[in-house]
Amino acid sequence: MGLTEEKIKDLQDKKFDELFTKNIKEWSEMASNAHSVARAYITKGAEPRPDDVLKMLLPMLEPHETLRKHQEKVHAKYSRYRVAFGEYIIDQILFKKEEKQS
């Protein structure tokens, strides 16, 4: 599916953008690891698509205590927020970096 403007707005309404900024180093490491695993095991060395990276990132996010506490605090416990946040991380970390390199 991918990240849409509607999902970004929903995340901003629940302050996930602030959570991202506060913990950017950790999210960067997780996104990089997910990208590496997707590249090695899903695409066999080719550049993975965002949804392929998301498949690897979601199992890392599910038990993440900081994320779970944030979801509870802002009343956003549904898994759709976790998925949208994963898409947001991938967009901000992996694909914003590509835009800067172009």
pLDDT score at 95: 78
- Asked if the model's pLDDT at residue 98 lies above 90, the reply is no
When divided into structural domains, the chain yields a total of 1
Write out the two tokens for 101: 């390199």
Average pLDDT over residues 67-90: 96
**How does pLDDT run across 17-66, given as a tens digit for each residue?**
999 999 999 999 999 999 999 999 999 999 999 999 999 999 999 999 99
Range of the domain at 72: 5-101
* H, E, C per residue of 29-53: HHHHHHHHHHHHHHCCCCCCCHHHH
